[in-house]
């Protein structure tokens, strides 16, 4: 395999490790069951995209894996979502994942009930955060979250399962300060 590779995120479960990123401008996935022998899958570019990259990955207790990223299309970044139902052996592109126009996925986690993702969207200094859940990674539902900031830039930077809930770190930036807080969200 020739061309540049960029690895962005790693996830592990009882079967091994999985890494996502890009290879030669195409979304790519690397996996291993023993830490020594790696399998590489270079995925095709979405129609109309000049390049694409997977930035986040999560695997649930079953065999389902969700990888989220960005594709460059006509000079703009657009969301990219790939799902695997067989532990990463094969992948299917699904519509945009948990984002709307101009949104960027900032965190992703999995639990036995499914997947939770956080996004940010809006103009610089006025970015808002949102949380989404999905049982399979193929379709996403927004989750109402109380306590998110207004009048600044709100960013959920980390998500992790916590029992039947999901815990997160929220960063709120204003011109005068930066504050951190924790969130407890309903699980998927």
Pairing of strands 178-186, 165-173: antiparallel
On the question of pLDDT at 133 being above 60, the answer is: yes
| Token pair in block for residue 37 | 């022998």
| DSSP summary character for residue 46 | P
| Neighbour order of strands in the sheet with 5-13 | 5-13, 16-23, 26-32, 39-42
Looking at per-residue confidence, does 185 or 153 come out higher?
185
Query: Average pLDDT in the 76-92 region?
Result: 91
Looking at per-residue confidence, does 147 or 81 come out higher?
81
Percent of the chain's residues with pLDDT above 90 = 43
Query: Is-contact 56 108, C-beta < 8 A?
Result: yes
Q: 151 falls in which pLDDT band (50, 70, 90)?
A: low
Please give the full DSSP string across 72-141, using - where no structure is assigned. Answer: EETTEEEEEEEEESSTTSS-EEESS-S--TT-EEEEEEEETTEEEEEEEESSTTS-EEEEEEESSSSS-E
pLDDT value at position 110? 94
pLDDT value at position 21? 95
pLDDT value at position 157? 87
CB-based contacts of 144, cutoff 8 Å, min separation 6: none
CATH class label, 1-96: mainly beta
Query: Average pLDDT in the 175-186 region?
Result: 79
Which pLDDT tens digit goes with each residue over 66-76?
999 989 988 88
On the question of pLDDT at 184 being above 90, the answer is: no
Per-domain residue ranges of the chain: 1-96, 99-188
CA atoms of 117 and 99, how far apart (whole Å) = 9
On the question of pLDDT at 22 being above 90, the answer is: yes
On the question of pLDDT at 2 being above 80, the answer is: no
Residue reference for tokens 């996935």: 29
Mean pLDDT for the chain? Answer: 85
Which pLDDT tens digit goes with each residue over 88-114?
999 999 987 666 656 788 899 999 889
């Amino acid at each position: 395999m020739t061309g540049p590779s960029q690895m962005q995120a790693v996830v592990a479960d009882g079967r091994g490790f999985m890494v996502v990123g890009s290879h030669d401008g195409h979304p790519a996935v690397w996996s291993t069951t023993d830490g020594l022998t790696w399998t590489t899958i270079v995925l095709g570019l979405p129609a109309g995209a000049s390049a694409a990259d997977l930035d986040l990955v999560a695997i649930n207790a079953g065999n389902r894996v969700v990888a989220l990223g960005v594709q460059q299309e006509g000079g703009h970044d657009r969301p990219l979502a790939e799902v695997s139902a067989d532990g990463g052996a094969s992948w299917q592109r699904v519509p945009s994942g948990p984002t709307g126009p101009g949104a960027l996925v900032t965190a992703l986690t999995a639990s036995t009930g499914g997947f939770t993702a956080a996004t940010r969207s809006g103009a610089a200094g006025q970015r808002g955060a949102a949380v989404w859940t999905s049982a399979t990674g193929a379709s996403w539902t927004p989750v109402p979250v109380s306590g998110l900031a207004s009048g600044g830039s709100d960013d959920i930077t980390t998500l992790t399962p916590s029992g039947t809930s999901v815990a997160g770190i929220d960063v709120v930036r204003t011109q005068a300060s930066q504050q951190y807080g924790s969130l407890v969200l309903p699980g998927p």
